Structure formats: structure tokens, C-alpha cells
Amino acid sequence: MDAALRRRVAREAANLLYLGIEKEYRQAKLRAAETLGLNVLPTNLEVAMELNKIAEENEGAARLERLVRMRREALRVMRILEKYNPVLVGSVWRGTIHHRSDIDINVYSDNPQEVLDALAESGVKILEKGWVKMSKEGVWVEAYRILADLDSNFTTEITVRNPLEYGKRERCEVYGDTVSGLNIQELERVLLKNPTQRFTPF
């Protein structure tokens, strides 16, 4: 019975995320439970699975075509920032994009202005930039975030992180596994051999 109720809340929470009504998993789950009048909360993984189903139902084959285009776009940006050890993370790495997804790339530098200059020199349009606070394994850290556009329909979010953090394994708060991501060479291989490959526990 609890499993069925959790699925109902997970589906409602996933719908809130898909429609952009909520941005964070926790808030989506709380709002979904309140809306349905239920006192159960699903795991983030259960919500992610429902979100994936909703995207499949609504976007069909176009979703996979978009994923390949986004991965190719990510590779273009990563090549521009090659000296900063770029790593593709987020839903484009996972292969679980939906219509609101952007491209998430981590780069490693103690000088965000250098990263901005490299983008500008390559004609990349900067939409937003600045320091933000982000939660990493329950700890709040500061990072420099750049929202960029490479003349496409996709927004790329570039997070400039401390070089000492490069290669550090982090636990994903949604899937519960390790966030490994893809570096340039790994992404090139994926695009060559299996461009829609998924990297999820399910």
C-alpha cells in the first residue's frame, strides 16, 4: 500500500518538476504530498524514474534526437574550455533530458575570468555570470556559475570549481550513485559508439 501511495506522490512531484512549477526535488515532493493529502514521501530516485516516464510519454523519439544534439553542443563547449578539464554532468550526461533541460558542465579553475575570456574569444554569448551557493553532499559551497549560449536552442550552465576538486567522487542526491560524468574523450566515444547511451541506475 505504501509503495502505491509513494508512486502517486512521485508521479505528482515529477509532473511539478516537468512543468517547471517546482525546481527542487524536495519542494516538489512536499507540495505533491500536500496536494494529494498523503503523508508519505518517495525517494528522489522514485521521482526521477517518474520524471523519465513523463518525458518519454510527452516527447517520444524527438527526445533522443535532442539528446544527441545537446551532447554534440556540450562537446563544442568542452573543447573551447579544454584546458580547464571540463566534465559533462547533469541530465545530458545521464541521458534523461526533458524539454526544460540545459547542458551542465563542470570546469576547474581558480580564475573564473579566464574561463569567461575563453568563451568570449570563441564567440560564446554570456547570458548570466556570478557566484552562487550550491549544496554538495549536504554542505553548502560557493561556486562561480556561467550561463552561456553557443547560438543554439540550448543553454549551457558552466560551473567553475576549485581545481582541487577535480576527480573527486561525489554522491548524487537524486540517483544515490557516484557522479562520474564524461570528459572530452569519453563524450567523443559515446557520440561515436552509442550517442543515446544512458548513465542511470535504472
Each residue's pLDDT tens digit, 158-170: 999 999 999 988 8
pLDDT tens-digit readout, 70-94: 999 999 999 999 999 999 999 999 9
> What's the predicted TM-score (pTM) here?
0.93
Considering the segment(s) 62-193 as one domain, its CATH architecture is 2-Layer Sandwich (3.30)
Alpha-carbon radius of gyration of the chain: 18
Question: Which residues, in sequence order, are bridge partners of residue 201?
Answer: none
Residue 104: is its pLDDT beyond 90? yes
Mean pLDDT over the full length of the chain: 94
Band of residue 202 on the pLDDT scale cut at 50, 70, 90: confident
CB of 156 within 8 A of CB of 105? yes
- pLDDT for res 137: 61
Q: Where along the chain do its domains lie?
A: 2-42, 62-193
Residue labelled with grid coordinates 512531484 = 13
Residue 179: is its pLDDT beyond 70? yes
Taking the C-alpha atoms of residue 57 and residue 55, their distance in angstroms, rounded to an integer, is 5
SS3 127: strand
Residue 130: is its pLDDT beyond 70? yes
User: What's the grid cell of residue 146?
Assistant: 556561467
pLDDT tens-digit readout, 133-176: 877 666 778 899 999 998 778 999 999 999 999 998 889 999 99
Taking the C-alpha atoms of residue 117 and residue 121, their distance in angstroms, rounded to an integer, is 6
